[in-house]
Structures are given as structure tokens and as C-alpha cells.
Amino acid sequence: MALAPKKDLTAKIMRSKIYSLLLQDKRIDGRKPTDLRPIKIETGLLSKAEGSALVSMGSTKILTGIKVEVGVPFPDRPDEGTFTVNAELLPLASASFEPGPPDERGIELARVVDRSLREGRVLDLKKLCLIEGEKVYVLFIDIYVLDYDGNYFDPSLISALAALATAKLPRYDVVDGKLQKTGEYFTPEIRSLPFTVMVGVIGEKFLLDPQLEEEKVLDVSLVMGADEKGNITCVQKNSPGQVPLELMDSIVDIVIEKTGEIRRKFLQEVPVKLAESP
Amino acid sequence: MALAPKKDLTAKIMRSKIYSLLLQDKRIDGRKPTDLRPIKIETGLLSKAEGSALVSMGSTKILTGIKVEVGVPFPDRPDEGTFTVNAELLPLASASFEPGPPDERGIELARVVDRSLREGRVLDLKKLCLIEGEKVYVLFIDIYVLDYDGNYFDPSLISALAALATAKLPRYDVVDGKLQKTGEYFTPEIRSLPFTVMVGVIGEKFLLDPQLEEEKVLDVSLVMGADEKGNITCVQKNSPGQVPLELMDSIVDIVIEKTGEIRRKFLQEVPVKLAESP
Amino acid sequence: MALAPKKDLTAKIMRSKIYSLLLQDKRIDGRKPTDLRPIKIETGLLSKAEGSALVSMGSTKILTGIKVEVGVPFPDRPDEGTFTVNAELLPLASASFEPGPPDERGIELARVVDRSLREGRVLDLKKLCLIEGEKVYVLFIDIYVLDYDGNYFDPSLISALAALATAKLPRYDVVDGKLQKTGEYFTPEIRSLPFTVMVGVIGEKFLLDPQLEEEKVLDVSLVMGADEKGNITCVQKNSPGQVPLELMDSIVDIVIEKTGEIRRKFLQEVPVKLAESP
Amino acid sequence: MSRPERLIDENGRRVDGRRADELRPIRMEVGVLDKSDGSAYVEFGGTKVIAAVFGPREAHPRHLALPDRAILNCRYHMTSFSVEERKPLGMTRREIELSKVIREALETVAFLEEFPRAAIDVYVEVVQADGGTRTAGLTAASLALADAGIPMADLIAGVAVGKVDGQLVLDLCDLEDKYGEADMPVAMAPRFNSIVMLQLNGRMTVEEFKRGLALAKKGIDEIYRLQREALKKKFSKISPEEV
Amino acid sequence: MSRPERLIDENGRRVDGRRADELRPIRMEVGVLDKSDGSAYVEFGGTKVIAAVFGPREAHPRHLALPDRAILNCRYHMTSFSVEERKPLGMTRREIELSKVIREALETVAFLEEFPRAAIDVYVEVVQADGGTRTAGLTAASLALADAGIPMADLIAGVAVGKVDGQLVLDLCDLEDKYGEADMPVAMAPRFNSIVMLQLNGRMTVEEFKRGLALAKKGIDEIYRLQREALKKKFSKISPEEV
Amino acid sequence: MSRPERLIDENGRRVDGRRADELRPIRMEVGVLDKSDGSAYVEFGGTKVIAAVFGPREAHPRHLALPDRAILNCRYHMTSFSVEERKPLGMTRREIELSKVIREALETVAFLEEFPRAAIDVYVEVVQADGGTRTAGLTAASLALADAGIPMADLIAGVAVGKVDGQLVLDLCDLEDKYGEADMPVAMAPRFNSIVMLQLNGRMTVEEFKRGLALAKKGIDEIYRLQREALKKKFSKISPEEV
């Protein structure tokens, strides 16, 4: 059952401070409204995960690990590997996160990342098939929010993509219908790099990649994403509040620009060769 | 853990009003003590369910849907199909129903309907076997209480029977030990039509099919059912309180009479041809 | 999430009373500090369990039952049967036990008994294999605390061992790769009899097998166990508090002595022939 | 456990040698546990149950408390090894339903109004199940309530009647329950000549149903007698000095 | 349900015969349930949803209550038989996410500040799913809120737009949702010309996205008109004497 | 990960080249997270853990609060990819047990009486498991408590000792834990020369047990030194102006 969250009372004062700054194109941490926070990407830190990435965006820190198993394909997609995305808002990341199974926020995060990967056609799932109709690679992409200073969406997707792009999957030979590890490894081909940008609206103004103090006082927020071809690959209004329809055009345009910026940063940091896109 | 429910304090005044009326053979809604509320039965409203029925008894509304799958039989009944009954007291039906997994009331309802169908031998489960010991029809009979104005038992059983009697199950051919849909459908044979009547006791008097205001002030209630041959197929004391032993004879007799009344109504509304009973 | 338990305020008075007695080598129930409470062992009380034992240690009562099924072995141990230990602190045993799934105390108890049995190599699991890699005996050792007057650890292990030592497992013949019951039964060989003793520390003193009033005021407690060869088979600090390092030598020595005492009692009461130890 | 050829032989004897209207050997003991406020052990043949009562105690969480009476909580639970096939841990739907009907029977006789804002917890643990566990459990629970000193209008005694090979029988055992035509658990408050629990699993004619209630009543009167004896035995153990 | 060869034919007609910008037949009825404080039934073609509202009522547990406004709880739930493959009982991750986005849309227009310390519960039950269940559900929920007398700044109307065989279409049905390229549920508060729910499943170009919003707006204006009609119809049924 | 032929070679070297009484390379950092009140990262070879502390804060629900001291909650949790086979989401029985023993160790040194009615939450997250996760986790948790400014009687340092190919070794790695004869996690409050956590998985003779405790003590003294260094390093980063 979705439960309406409490609104911090002191938030009102902070809102008017942030809004006043915004009218002057400024923010509390010195950024311009459309500036993202610094992004750091580290990959391959963990040896028991087939892929891993630690990504920070300002003080928000996300750790994603990938475990690979051999499983059965879905009946309606017998020649495709599968993946699932889980996200845990770890209680050590914020006093506002509770221990226990993912609540609606964790589930929303997982599903937004899942849709971005799936609809962005990041993986060629047919290349993750081992024996048609019987055995395929099953990827578990598990996202952990370690430190939460606002906007866990964008760095979560970055870390999922970085972990995927640097993952090492064991190769198998099919011998008499059975699978045998060859001892070799391969990195899954990445066909597309969709990223998202979280957009916060206050009054008739907007800012990107809110840090926590900003996030708390937004009128409304959106997560929007795009791939390298300029396709919109993700839209999620993720908070209460109304988005003025007339703001949408400029929001879409800045999202295209800023996801490009993230992509360039990503390609600098992560050794990924983009496969031909579908 | 079964938890004793709260007793409404204002209930006492209502109880004495209802009891006084009962002494004059009257009820708050103008019915006689042994009158049932009007019953409406609609079937086949839904296209994704293999069977469905919306039944109202006064303002109490029940929606039952049946989904059919192919599954494995129980080891000790290799030549019989299976069915399970679930019931959800949806929170939109009453402020007293909570969202979440079925509580003891929902479980009791499901099990009372299940026993009525099973012990009443409504279905010939042997006719729901596809390949002995391997493949059988598995029926999920899911009951949703949509609007709760007292006595969800009787209309739930009516709706389960109406959904069963009008269900369309896909036919299969067995080709080389495998199942293939033929594209044809059949309706399961109904061998028996057991119905129930909820009986409420106040003092030394009783009334049938209580509406909510009555239900809240009953001293005790029973759900009793019978089939077309006059067999008792269901008994469930379903509330706290004592039933005077000397009332039981007249209760049984009225239950036989009133389940017959429901059966006639049912046969008028629902196109069912009773198969030879076991 | 582990939750710190409340400390009874009146406990302080009781603590000083118990400590004063301890300084005189006395206890509230007349025992010496290293005396155990009387142990009673009854086996074979239940007919639907393949093994059962009711053990009391003072007023603390434990009922353990064993159910046996045929299942598949673990992939890395294809020629060994398996067992699992569960423990339920039944709410009828104490006002401090809640109904519901085992909390951290029940889980700790199950895991301590499990480790004692497993690391003590009580069973020759290879003798519980039926068809290598396919079919093995699966033992469910389920422990129920019926009455809790302190120290449920020691009697739980005793009852698990007594139930195992007197269990009757059905024999199977392998006919054409399938299992058939022969109608005969056998008792699993017991290779080792590890027991535990719970040690409570107050100040610089310790006592064994605390009853509930003592347990509530201990500074700290340990469960330690040993087998007939003098191997330490179990150590579990099971409460908050510090154990002075210099106490450990005398604790270990008394644990060896007292587990021997329990073993002699056990061998008197339970018909068990120890197999050659591994 | 497979079906015997006949559940009643040519001499009218049942699978365990009983006559149709005969109870199994019954054992009752009050006050079997130390740490609960009241407890009882009841055995009907192979059916073995323990019941314990805690309270009255303060109800928590607070908003569940009732201003005019105690709430009565009840849990009917089976050990995993009480039945033929191991019962999974956790409460099954059957256990949840039976917890409800047992509680509703007990509420009927306990003077809950004497303890406003309080809670009373009743736990029934089935140690071995051989038919009639809910009625044995309820019988034990009412003894445990009495042992806990909860004032009651009456004790509750229960027993199952059933239909087996076409014949009504008293106090079904597991085999009769499984392979018979009907199982009807009945519990009464004998002083009031009233029914406090009634369920049916199976089918009966109206005439059988009525006769079944009478047969149950016969068994219940005997069980009720044994209950009072068991209570007397418990309280006679307490020496005058203790009182 | 297998993929048809084409989702749009040579005449620009969709699988169910509609034009690209055509809504399915819509049915709305307010006040369909007796025991909730407000309710509505909404049908978009084969999609059938019921919504009910309870409250404002006292919020419990107490520590969840807000000093300055009501909390609004929302549950979007599907019956097990509303979809092709039986939906397991219990809430799926999808249902939990949609409950969140529907609640966040409703919070936007309800005057929650009028009911400090209170709670309002909104339940959306999908009886049959044929595309656009969340937007139909939100449309129904806003009617149910109005029916319950909760003051609102505006009604909310929603519809999905999608991309099918390369073309933008209004009000996707299940087949189009499943085999199309994109599904974008949109809901607006028309009086404010603002978006209150927006999600995307699939890919669109920037230009398609912008046109998609405009197409949604067109549908939403029509749905909004039908909502007001349905409310009028409900309240005109109440005779003057009742008021 | 299969069993090597020998876990200790002819030169007394272990699978990773260490001597029997040698710790793995240890890394500690205090204050690694921004949004918790205290945090620490600890690495023992391939074992990597983060701990964070929140509080003291008001305890809720209220009835859990203690009048004379803070309650200390603790959760030990592993990421799904910290181990060879993916760990299912949710808490395993092992994690629940270790949460208990870690909490009971921390309660021993934190001055909880200074914060009546409050709660302190400690979270230990195992990022990679290569043996000794509970002792590394406890070591990190005590640093995080110190970082959060919770007054403590002492720091807690922990390490596992084990028996491998018949020999006692310090600071087990995963391979030694899995294929060795015994794993004994030990944690101490060095200032008090007392044990605050002690468990055993496996078998040891009495003599080995006693020697094992002494070996643990040796490792713990070194870990304790590193802890104090890490704390100094953290607090030396804070410039005088900030204080």
C-alpha cells in the first residue's frame, strides 16, 4: 500500500531560499541549475561478482554487482538470456531508509533502471543464449544505495551500465547437450548507452540532479532518459506535484544534452566498445 | 493468531431494536425473519477469466473468476483434476477490511466455500484429468468481496457455482504424450448444487441472511448448507456466542427450505444442466 | 534486525542476592554453582514422528521430533544424507515468547544445536545415502520449547540427540532405480555424543545451567560443549556482556567435566550404542 | 496409512475395536506447565494436545485494548511432526481457521468483562494428531483457562462425531476421519445446553445431522465429567497451607 | 494472444478498427458501491476498473498522522483473473510501483490540508486488464474522491498514448501495448494544464514524445468531459428532498 | 573454489603465503559515508565491510523505549554478490544470528545509559566475503560508533582463528574457513582483557582452544592499534577551526 510521505515543516524556509537562488540561476552548492554533480566511476572492485561498479554523483554513492547463473529462458523467448534488476535502499545510506524488504521507492528505482536497460536495448539477449529453449545466462543486477544525498536514479543507472560493460561472463561449451565451463570469459556487448537525468521543478523553474536538501523541497520531479541516438528511453514522474505542460519542451531538450554529457564521461572512464545498435 | 474483534458499543441499542422487531416477525429493512435479500446473478462478464460471475445479495456484491491451468495431480489422486478456492475481502468493500494477505475471515470464507464444493461433490474431478498421473486441469476459483453489507458467505458460494457452471475450459488432444489445444471449449459438468444460508440468532429467535447492521448485533451466527437431495453439506458456526441446542431442529428445516429457494432462482438465471449426481 | 532486549529493573536486587549467595558457593534453589538441574529423558512418545524425545532440565521442557523424507543430496555432497534443525520458542512456554516465525533467539538455538550435531559429526551422513547423487534421507529435526525456566540450550541438544538415537528410519530397496520400502526400520548410528553446558557469569564468579531467575541477571553467558574425546564442539557467547579472559580456563575445564556427567546420564537413559568415532 | 477394507466390522466394531458410541481412552491433566498462568494436557487416544493460558495482562499495542472487556487471543498450532506428512513451519490456512473457531468458542464462556483493557492469550499446541484435534484442543484450552483462574460461566467440552461406512460414530480417529463420509466437530457448554463450536466436513442427511448432535452430546457429557475430575485432582494437590 | 501481422492496416485502422487518435468506448459510473464513502466504475474498452474511497478518518497508527494535512493512502490492485496468465495473490512489484504513481497524482489535486491528522484511503481494483489500467484506475479514483466529497482542485483524467507500427496512437489496447514500440501513460489536471502522472515503457524520438503529449491532451479533454457528465448524472439522481 | 591439496605447505606457508600467526593486509577508514552519523570501512584481505551508525535518536515505536538507557539495534547484512553463490535477497538465518552476536558485543562497551529512551542503529554491510566477515564487521561497527561520537568504554577488535591441516592459524580466509577443521571468531575489548564475542564452528581440543584464544589476542592487539590509528587519521583531518 502506497503511503503518503510526511512533508518536513522546516522545508518551507529552505524552499524559498532555493527558489530565490534559482531565480538568479544559482544553487545552494554553487552549481548552475543545469549542472550535474561530479561523477566518479570505479569498476571491477569486487572479485566474487561477475561485474561491479561503484559510482558516486556528489555524495550519493551506488554499488552495483552482477551475479551470473545458468537458468532457463522464458517460454515466449526461448533464444534469449534474461536479467533482473533489484535495488536496495540500504539503511546505512540514510536515516529515512528502513531495514526490510524494498519499499515502494526501492521498487520504483529497480523498475526504472530495468526499463531503461530493457527498452534501451542495452544487451543483445540473443547472445546470452546457451542452448535454445533450455539454458541461458541469467544476470542478476543488484543495486545498493550506500550513501543517499539526493537523486539515486541517475548514478544507479550509470553503475548498472558500468557493471554490465565490464562484466566477465564464463564461457561454456555444449558437450553432449551438457554445459562445460571453458575457463574463458567474455564481456557482454553493449549496444546502447541510455542515461537518465533527474529534473526537479520549483515554481516555473527547474534544476537538474538535485542534492538531498533540494530534493526535499521540490514541487515535483521527473526522471528522464535518452540514448545516443536521441531517443527518449525513460520517463518517470517520481513524486507528487504537477509538472506544467509548457515546461516539458525545454526539459526534454536539456535531458538530451545532459545525458550526452554523462555518456561522454562514461566512455572516458569505462572501457566499452559500443556494438552496432539495433 | 486469531484476535477477538471489537464489539461496537452503540450496537446494544441496535440489538434491542432488531430484537423487538423480530418478536413481531419484522426486520429493519421490511423483510420477514426468514426472507432472503434479492439475489442477482450475472455471468460471463469477463473475457480473460475462463469463468466469472457477479452476484449480489441485497447490497453485498461478490465477483468470482476462474482461471484454468494445466498442472500435475496430487500423488494420491492421479486421475483427478484439482481446484483451489481463494477469497479476498477487498478493502474497497468495507472500512473494516484491511489491505494485505487474507486474514482469518477471508480464510474462513474460502475454506467454507471450498468444503461446500468439495463435500457437495459439485465437480466430477475425474473428468478434469488429461493424462493420468501427469496432467490435469487445475482450477483457481478466486472470490472477491466487492461490497460488504453483511453475509458474504451465501453469495460467494452462489458466485463460485455460477462461474463454474458457465466456465469454458479449453479442450486438449494428447499427441505423442504432449498436450495440444484443439481450439474447442467445454463447460464442466455440475453434479450437485449445494447452497448455504447464513442464520443469525438473537435471544431465542433467528433470522436469515443478515444485512450488515443486523450482523453486527447477532448473538451468534451459523452458515449451513444443503444440496438438492436434502443432504447437509456445510455447517460452520462462524462467530462467538452460543447456539441453544433446542433451536437446531428448526434451523436445519428452514435451511433445507431456503437453499431450495436459492437453487430455483439459480436454475432460472444460470444455464446449467445438472449431471447425474454421484 | 537484532533488537536490544529490555533489562528488568527489579533485576538489580535479584542480581545482588544471587551474587551474594554465589560468594558462599550457594544458589537460590539450593544448588552448588556447578550443579546442573535434574535431567529427565523420555523417548518414543510419539508415533507419527520417526523419532522423538521429551527432555526436562529442572522445569525447562523441550520436545524434539524427527520427520524423515526422501530427497536429493546437496550437489557438493552427492553421497550424503542431509538434516536440518529448526527450533521454535513456543509462546506457551513463556510470556516472553511471541507467536510467529522464529526470532533471533529461536534461530540462534537452532543454529547452535545444528553446529553441535554437524561439527560433532554425530551422524555418519554417508550411511543416509540411498542412490548416490539422486536420493538420500532428509531428516527434519524440529525442536519445540514447551516450558522455559532458563537455559533452553542444553536440554534442546539432549533431546535432539535422544530423538536421533532412538529414531526408526524406513529401509528402502532400490529396484530398477526406484525406491521401495522394505517394511523394515533401522536406527541411525550415533558416532559421537557432544553435549553443552550453559555457563553464566556474575562478577568474577560463574554458575552452570541457570534457571530463569538467574538467567535474567547474569552479566554474561556462554554455551560451551564437548564430546566424549574432550574436543570442544560448541562455543557460543549468547548474551551481551564481557567474559573476563582469565575465567576461560576454568570454564573450559568444568565444561569438559559436566558434559561428561550429562553423557553418563544420557547413556543410562537412552539405549544408544556409540559407533566407532571418525 | 492406507484405507482398511472396512471401517466397521460385522460385529459393529470400529478399526480400533470401539463400538459406534464409544469414546477413546481419555487422559486429562491440569497444570502441566510451570511458566504459563494455566495449562492442561489432554489425550484422546492418539491425539495429544497441550494448552496454555497467559493473562489477563495489559493489552498491547494499546489501540487494540477494549474499554469494556478483555480481548481473547487464541492460536491453534500443530508441531511439524504431529501428522503423517511433515507440516511446514508457520501457520497454515487450516490452523488460522481453527484458531478462529476455538477462540469464538472460548469467548462464549469466559467472563471477559471482568478485565477491561486486558488481553488473555490462549495457546493450543497439537503434539500428535489422530483425529479430533480441534475438539481436544478446545477441551484442553477451557481447562487451562480454569487453571489460570479466569472466571468462566462453564467449561467447554468437545468431541467429533462422524459418519463411517454409513454409520454414525463418536470420537473419530484419524483413519475414520480420512476415509469416512463425514466429520462433525461439536463443542458445547453443557450447563447451558448450547453449542459453542460446530463445523462439518462431509455430508449427512438431516436425520443423521440431528442424531449426530445427540451422539455428540452423549460424549460431551462424559468428557465434561472427566474435566471436572481433572480440575479437582489439580486443586486437591494444593495443600491447605498453600491456600 | 499472438502478434497480428500488422497492428495498423492499409487504411490506418488499428486492430480493433479505431483510427490512431480515437478513444475506445468509455463507460463511467459514479457511486457504484454501497459501503465505501465514494466509488466509481470506469471502462475503457476491455479495461474495467473500480475505485473506492474511505475517509477522511482518523489516521492510525497515530505516529503516521500529519499535523497539517491528511495522509492519502492508495492501493492499485488487480484481480487474479484480470490478466491472461493468472496473477498470483499478493502485491507484485508492478502493483506497488503503480500504487505510488497513482497516489502521487491524486495528492496533487486533493485539498489534504483541510483534514489535518486524518487519513484518506483510495483503492483501485482492476477487474479486467486490456491496456491503460493505471490511467483508467486514476480516472476512476479521482471520480471516487469527488463522490466521497473530498474537496479537489480539479479532476484527474488519464490515458495512454503509444507507438505502434511506427505510428502514434491514442488509448492503447493490450495487443498494442504488448506488441507496440512504446506505451506512455499520461494523466493531467486539465484546469491547470499540468501533468500529474507520466511514465514511459519503450522508446520514442523527442519529436514523437512531444506529439505524444499533445495527443494525450486531446484524449484527456474528452475523458474529462465524460467524467463531469458522470458526476452530474450521479448527483442529479439525488432528489432535492435528499439534499 | 575447490579444495587445494594442502592448506599449509612444507614451509609452513598458507594458501595466500602467510605464516600461521600472520594477519592479512588490513585497511581501515573512518567516516566514509556522508549521510550517517558515523561510518567506517574495513578490509581484511578480500573481506570488505562497511558499517554505519545512526543516532542516538528517539526510539519508535514508543513502547520499545527504555527508561534508563538507549536501545541498540544492529543489522549484519551481506550484498547478494558478496559470496560465491548469489545470496538471496532478504535476511538469512545466518545473518539474523550474526546480527545478534554483533549487537551483544557492541552493547558491552557503548555507554547506553547516557541516552535514556533513545535508539542507536548500527548497520554492517558485507560488500565482499572472504572469511572473518563478522569480526571485520564488528571491528568496523565499533569504529563507526566512535565516529558517531557515541561514548564507549573501549573499542572492539575482532579476528577469527582457525584450525587448518591440524594447525592453528590467525585470520582465516574463505578457503581456510571452508576446508579447514575449525573457525573460531573472537572479539575483545582489549582495555578490559575480556571477550565480547566468541563462537566456534568446528572442533578443537581443549589445548587448541586455549592456544587459539591467545593467538586471537595477539591479532586483536594489532587490529586495535590499527583502529586507533584510523580514528586519529580521521580526526586529524578536521582542522582546528572546525572544532
pLDDT digits (tens, 9 = 90+) for E209-240: 999 999 999 999 999 999 999 999 988 876 55
Task: Evaluate if residue C3 carries a pLDDT over 60.
Answer: no
Q: What is the mean pLDDT of residues E143-153?
A: 97
Cα separation values, D242 from B141, D40, D234, D238, Å: 60, 21, 13, 6
Q: Is E237 strand, coil or helix?
A: helix
Cα separation values, F230 from D138, D226, F72, F234, Å: 63, 73, 24, 6
CB atoms within 10 A of CB E213: 19
Of A52, A147, A149, the CB nearest to F81: A52
Q: Which of B257, B238, B276 has the alpha carbon at shortest distance from B105?
A: B238
Angstrom distance (rounded) from CA B109 to CA B86: 8
Shortest CA distance from D123: residue in chain C: C92
Chains in contact with E via at least 3 Cβ–Cβ pairs below 8 Å:
A, B, D, F
Q: Which of A195, A210, A198, A206 has the alpha carbon at shortest distance from A58?
A: A210
Measured at the CA of C17, the angle between CA C16 and CA C21, to 5 degrees, comes to 110
Angstrom distance (rounded) from CA D82 to CA D127: 5
Q: Where are the domains of chain B?
A: 38-269
Contact of B129 with chain E, judged by CB distance below 8 Å, is answered with: no
* Contact predicate F204/C232, CB 8 Å: yes
pLDDT digits (tens, 9 = 90+) for D155-201: 999 999 999 999 999 999 999 999 999 999 999 999 999 999 999 99
Q: Residue D35 and residue C88: Cβ atoms within 8 Å?
A: no
Of E201, E208, E217, the CB nearest to A119: E201
DSSP label of B238: -
Task: Evaluate if residue D114 carries a pLDDT over 60.
Answer: yes
pLDDT of residue D242: 46
Question: D62 to chain F: which residues are within 8 Å by CB?
Answer: 63
Task: Evaluate if residue B150 carries a pLDDT over 80.
Answer: yes
Contact of B110 with chain E, judged by CB distance below 8 Å, is answered with: no
The torsion angles phi and psi of D116, rounded to 5 degrees, stand at -60, 145
pLDDT digits (tens, 9 = 90+) for D143-153: 999 999 999 99
Of F36, F86, F127, the CB nearest to A63: F127
For residue E242, name the pLDDT band (cuts at 50, 70, 90). Answer: very low
Strand-strand pairing, A129-131 and A82-89: unpaired
pLDDT of residue F243: 41
Contact of C90 with chain D, judged by CB distance below 8 Å, is answered with: yes
* Contact predicate D78/D129, CB 8 Å: yes
**Radius of gyration of chain D from Cα atoms?**
18
Looking at the complex, report in whole angstroms how far the Cα of residue D144 sits from the nearest Cα belonging to chain F.
29
pLDDT digits (tens, 9 = 90+) for E36-57: 999 999 999 999 999 999 999 9
Of B3, B111, B226, the CB nearest to D71: B3
C-alpha cell at A278: 539495433
CB atoms within 10 A of CB C262: 24
Q: Which of D179, D182, D186 has the alpha carbon at shortest distance from D203?
A: D182
Contact of C107 with chain F, judged by CB distance below 8 Å, is answered with: yes
User: In this structure, which topology does domain F26-232 adopt according to CATH?
Assistant: Ribosomal Protein S5; domain 2 (3.30.230)
pLDDT digits (tens, 9 = 90+) for B32-50: 999 999 999 999 999 999 9
Cα separation values, F56 from A91, D158, F101, F113, Å: 15, 54, 21, 11
* Contact predicate B270/B262, CB 8 Å: no
Looking at the complex, report in whole angstroms how far the Cα of residue E90 sits from the nearest Cα belonging to chain F.
18
Q: Which of B214, B94, B210, B105 has the alpha carbon at shortest distance from B148?
A: B94
Indicate the length of chain E as a whole number.
Answer: 243
Q: Does the ipTM surpass 0.85?
A: yes
- For chains E and C, having 3+ Cβ pairs within 8 Å is answered no
C-alpha cell at C76: 557438493
* Contact predicate F159/F171, CB 8 Å: yes
pLDDT digits (tens, 9 = 90+) for D191-221: 999 999 999 999 999 999 999 999 999 999 9
Of F36, F48, F86, the CB nearest to A69: F86
**Residue located via cell numbers 507484485:** E92
Looking at the complex, report in whole angstroms how far the Cα of residue F68 sits from the nearest Cα belonging to chain C.
9
Task: Evaluate if residue C244 carries a pLDDT over 90.
Answer: yes
By the 10 Å C-beta count (0-12 exposed, 13-18 middle, 19+ buried), D61 is classed as exposed
Shortest CA distance from C60: residue in chain D: D34
With a CB cutoff of 8 Å and minimum separation 6, the contacts of A267 are A193
Task: Evaluate if residue F235 carries a pLDDT over 90.
Answer: no
CATH code given to domain A38-269: 3.30.230.70
pLDDT digits (tens, 9 = 90+) for F197-221: 999 999 999 999 999 999 999 999 9
Whole-structure pTM value: 0.95
pLDDT digits (tens, 9 = 90+) for B77-99: 999 999 999 999 999 999 999 99
Q: Is B59 strand, coil or helix?
A: coil
Average pLDDT of chain F, as a whole number: 94
pLDDT of residue A4: 52
Looking at the complex, report in whole angstroms how far the Cα of residue D61 sits from the nearest Cα belonging to chain F.
9
Q: Which of F135, F213, F92, F199 has the alpha carbon at shortest distance from C196?
A: F199
pLDDT digits (tens, 9 = 90+) for C68-108: 999 999 999 999 999 999 999 999 999 999 999 999 999 99
Task: Evaluate if residue A275 carries a pLDDT over 90.
Answer: no
Burial track A138-153 (b if 16+ CB lie within 10 A, e otherwise): bbbbbbbbbbbbbbbb
pLDDT of residue E243: 41
Cα separation values, E2 from E84, E175, E176, E178, Å: 12, 8, 11, 10
* Contact predicate E216/E23, CB 8 Å: no
Q: Which residues in chain E (35-64) have CB-CB distances under 8 A to chain A?
A: 64
* Contact predicate F160/F212, CB 8 Å: no
Q: Where are the domains of chain E?
A: 26-232
Task: Evaluate if residue A6 carries a pLDDT over 60.
Answer: no
Q: Which of F149, F154, F169 has the alpha carbon at shortest distance from F234?
A: F149
Average pLDDT of chain B, as a whole number: 94
What DSSP string describes B61-86?
A: EEEEEEEEEEEPPPTT-TT--EEEEE
Strand-strand pairing, F71-78 and F118-128: parallel
By the 10 Å C-beta count (0-12 exposed, 13-18 middle, 19+ buried), E228 is classed as middle
For residue D237, name the pLDDT band (cuts at 50, 70, 90). Answer: confident
Strand-strand pairing, E182-189 and E204-205: unpaired
C208: left (phi over 0), alpha (psi -120 to 50) or beta: beta
For residue B211, name the pLDDT band (cuts at 50, 70, 90). Answer: very high
Angstrom distance (rounded) from CA D206 to CA D54: 41
- For chains E and A, having 3+ Cβ pairs within 8 Å is answered yes
Q: What is the mean pLDDT of residues A206-229?
A: 97
Q: Which residues in chain D (139-178) have CB-CB distances under 8 A to chain C?
A: none
Cα separation values, F210 from B181, C255, F215, Å: 72, 13, 9
pLDDT of residue D1: 64
pLDDT digits (tens, 9 = 90+) for A100-157: 999 999 999 999 999 999 999 999 999 999 999 999 999 999 999 999 999 999 999 9
Question: F196 to chain C: which residues are within 8 Å by CB?
Answer: 237, 242-243
Burial track E171-201 (b if 16+ CB lie within 10 A, e otherwise): bbbbbbbeebbbbbbbbbbbeeebbbbbbbb
Looking at the complex, report in whole angstroms how far the Cα of residue E70 sits from the nearest Cα belonging to chain A.
9
The alpha carbon dihedral of E168, E171, E176, E177 has a sign of positive
Of D69, D203, D217, the CB nearest to B233: D203
The amino acid at A166: T
pLDDT of residue F115: 96
Q: What is the mean pLDDT of residues C181-199?
A: 96
Residue C237 CA to its chain's centroid (Å): 15
